[in-house]
């Protein structure tokens, strides 16, 4: 259960780290959208391991194949099935995980829930699962861009305690992609990279914040009550591995202000309504108000570290475990396309829902 996301633009992901592969089925995509693997692969390349020396060195090209749902380069309106074969599988590297639960991973909870788990590379809990999301997200981003002129971006804004100042209204994709940590502020980026390298060298890991941005969302997307836009974004982000928090607009910092200080005044100009500040984060009452949507996602430090740690084995005896093999000191640079993908999936679903009821 729980492997499907969305109401009208609905994706179902499948696959384990080790096994036939990982993939996604996208149902509800509008017909006649130009779509080939070339639209998908760039985001998978931004997500894949081994793209720089500050992320996990797993060696996979993650080449996507579209198996259905398109015809002569256009979407059919039928399910789009996409998959990526698993290549760099080394079950032997994970043998200790067959008998020991990695601390702060999902080994123990999966075992307890299902009475079984694929311990090779984390199985379904592997970040490889996000390949399906990123592939589907690339489709969603294309629809948003082409149909609605909506631009989705994400970038790393903090590593541990080092924060970067970035203007979410102005930042460009080119600036973000200009360095390996995907932080558009060059000076800060250097510091963030240095901190990650430091962690890698210490056999340790670090977490931080990815900022998500959606510019150009028209007023009116989102549903009252449970399926508020920010509620669906929160769920989308907290469904990504290693996330611990989400806030939107003024977020956790906004509580320091009073109502008078916090409110966003409305102004009108030439029949267009806007707000002169944007503490609401582009959403009011669960519905987009036409301002830029921006939010933060907290990622904890990667759980696998190259040090001995206390844990328990499958016979429920105390033991220790030390991370071996591929060391991923920081998930943030690779999380950027994941945050973009989930943002796009939420927005395109709400675009269709809005269109259905109020269009």
Instruction: Please pick, from the candidates 50, 57, 216, 251, the single residue that binds a second copy as defined by CB under 8 A.
Output: 251
Return phi, psi of residue 105, to 5°. -100, -175
Site for a second copy in 2-61 (CB under 8 A): 2-5, 7-8, 10, 12-16, 19-23, 25, 27-32
Instruction: Please pick, from the candidates 49, 121, 207, 337, the single residue that binds a second copy as defined by CB under 8 A.
Output: 207
Number of residues that bind a second copy (CB under 8 A): 156
131, containing H or E segment:
helix 130-143
Q: With binding defined as CB under 8 A, does residue 264 bind a second copy?
A: yes
Instruction: Please pick, from the candidates 41, 179, 211, 289, the single residue that binds a second copy as defined by CB under 8 A.
Output: 289
Name which of 54 and 66 has its Cβ closer to a second copy: 66
Sole residue written with tokens 């974004």: 233
Instruction: Please pick, from the candidates 88, 191, 238, 326, the single residue that binds a second copy as defined by CB under 8 A.
Output: 238
Cβ contact 298:244 at 8 Å:
yes
- Closest distance to a second copy from the beta carbon of 238 (Å): 4
Instruction: Please pick, from the candidates 173, 191, 300, 326, the single residue that binds a second copy as defined by CB under 8 A.
Output: 300
Alpha carbon dihedral 238, 240, 244, 248, in 10-degree steps, equals -50
Q: With binding defined as CB under 8 A, does residue 227 bind a second copy?
A: yes
Q: With binding defined as CB under 8 A, does residue 257 bind a second copy?
A: yes
Q: Which residues, 6+ apart, have CB-to-CB distance to 99 below 8 Å?
A: 313, 314, 315
Instruction: Please pick, from the candidates 35, 233, 338, 339, the single residue that binds a second copy as defined by CB under 8 A.
Output: 233
125: which DSSP letter?
A: G
Instruction: Please pick, from the candidates 37, 223, 325, 326, the single residue that binds a second copy as defined by CB under 8 A.
Output: 223
Name which of 153 and 346 has its Cβ closer to a second copy: 346
Window of 50-58, 145-153, 179-187, 252-260 that interacts with a second copy by CB under 8 A: 252-260
Site for a second copy in 116-175 (CB under 8 A): 116-118, 123-125, 129, 158, 160-161
- Closest distance to a second copy from the beta carbon of 351 (Å): 9
Q: Which of 256, 351, 345, 337 is nearest to 297 (CA)?
A: 337
**For residues 123 and 239, what is the distance between their CA atoms, to the nearest angstrom?**
17
Query: What interhelical angle do 130-143 and 332-358 show, nearest 10?
Result: 50
Q: With binding defined as CB under 8 A, does residue 268 bind a second copy?
A: yes
- Closest distance to a second copy from the beta carbon of 69 (Å): 7
Instruction: Please pick, from the candidates 36, 68, 99, 172, the single residue that binds a second copy as defined by CB under 8 A.
Output: 68
**For residues 301 and 159, what is the distance between their CA atoms, to the nearest angstrom?**
9
Q: Which residues, 6+ apart, have CB-to-CB distance to 81 below 8 Å?
A: 23, 24, 25, 26, 66, 67, 68, 69
300: which DSSP letter?
A: P
Cβ contact 45:62 at 8 Å:
yes
Q: With binding defined as CB under 8 A, does residue 66 bind a second copy?
A: yes
* Residue 78 exposure: Cα atoms within 13 Å on the Cβ side: 8
Q: With binding defined as CB under 8 A, does residue 226 bind a second copy?
A: yes
Burial 66-86 (b: 16+ CB within 10 A, else e): beebbeeeebbeebbbbbbeb
Site for a second copy in 84-113 (CB under 8 A): 101, 103-106, 108-110, 112-113
Instruction: Please pick, from the candidates 49, 121, 137, 208, the single residue that binds a second copy as defined by CB under 8 A.
Output: 208
Name which of 179 and 280 has its Cβ closer to a second copy: 280
């Amino acid at each position: 259960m729980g492997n499907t996301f969305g109401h009208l633009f609905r994706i179902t992901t499948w696959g384990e780290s080790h096994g036939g592969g990982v993939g996604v089925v996208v149902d509800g995509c509008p017909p006649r959208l130009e779509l080939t693997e070339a639209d998908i692969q760039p985001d998978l390349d931004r997500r894949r391991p081994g793209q720089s020396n500050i992320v996990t060195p797993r060696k996979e090209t993650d080449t996507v194949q579209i198996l259905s749902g398109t015809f002569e380069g256009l979407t059919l309106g039928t399910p789009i099935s996409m998959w990526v074969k698993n290549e760099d599988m080394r079950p032997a590297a994970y043998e200790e995980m067959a008998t020991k639960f990695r601390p702060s991973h999902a080994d123990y909870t999966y075992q307890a829930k299902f009475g079984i788990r694929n311990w090779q590379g984390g199985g379904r809990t592997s970040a490889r699962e996000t390949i399906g999301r990123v592939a589907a997200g690339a489709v969603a981003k294309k629809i948003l861009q082409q149909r609605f002129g909506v631009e989705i971006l994400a970038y790393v804004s903090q590593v541990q305690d080092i924060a970067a100042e970035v203007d979410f209204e102005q930042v460009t994709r080119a600036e973000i992609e200009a360095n390996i940590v995907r932080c558009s502020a060059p000076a800060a980026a250097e510091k963030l990279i240095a901190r990650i390298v430091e962690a890698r060298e210490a056999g340790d890991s670090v977490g931080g914040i990815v900022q998500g941005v959606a510019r150009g969302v028209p007023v009116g997307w989102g549903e009252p009550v449970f399926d508020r836009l920010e509620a669906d974004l929160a769920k989308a982000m907290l469904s990504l591995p290693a996330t611990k928090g989400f806030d939107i607009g003024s977020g956790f910092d906004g509580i320091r202000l009073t109502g008078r200080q916090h409110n966003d005044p409305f102004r009108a100009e030439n029949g267009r309504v806007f707000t002169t500040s944007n503490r609401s984060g582009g959403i009011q009452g669960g519905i987009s108000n036409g301002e830029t949507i921006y939010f933060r996602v907290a990622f904890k430090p990667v759980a696998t570290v190259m040090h001995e740690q206390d844990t328990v084995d499958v016979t429920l005896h105390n033991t220790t475990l030390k991370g071996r093999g591929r060391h991923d000191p920081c998930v943030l640079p690779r999380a950027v396309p994941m945050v973009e993908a989930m943002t796009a999936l939420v927005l395109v679903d709400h675009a269709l829902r809005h269109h259905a009821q109020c269009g």
